[in-house]
């Protein structure tokens, strides 16, 4: 394997090609960014509600 080549990944009976591993890593990173953005938006919404005297629902 060359230094720039992505490693393959084997999960049970499923072997993933290097490009599939790279795609999965990219999707996980994107998912993490979306979750962080949603957390920020949630905090902003709660702040706006609090400024209006409205208590946000706890989930």
Mean per-residue pLDDT over the chain, rounded: 84
**Lowest-pLDDT choice from 27-31, 35-39, 52-56:** 52-56
**pTM strictly above 0.95:** no
**Residue 1 pLDDT exceeds 60:** no
> Could you identify the residue written with the tokens 């090609």?
17
**Partners of 9 in beta bridges:** 16
Q: E strands, the chain, where? A: 9-11, 14-16
Q: Cα–Cα distance between 30 and 55 in angstroms, integer?
A: 31
Spell out the residues 6+ positions from residue 22 whose beta carbon is closer than 8 angstroms to its own: 6
* pLDDT at 31 (0 to 100): 98
* pLDDT at 11 (0 to 100): 66
């Amino acid at each position: 394997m060359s230094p720039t080549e992505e490693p393959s990944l084997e999960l049970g009976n499923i072997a993933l090609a290097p490009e599939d591993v790279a795609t999965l890593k990219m999707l996980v990173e994107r998912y993490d960014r979306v979750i962080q953005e949603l957390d920020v938006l949630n905090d902003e919404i709660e702040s706006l509600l609090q400024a209006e005297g409205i208590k946000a629902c706890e989930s």
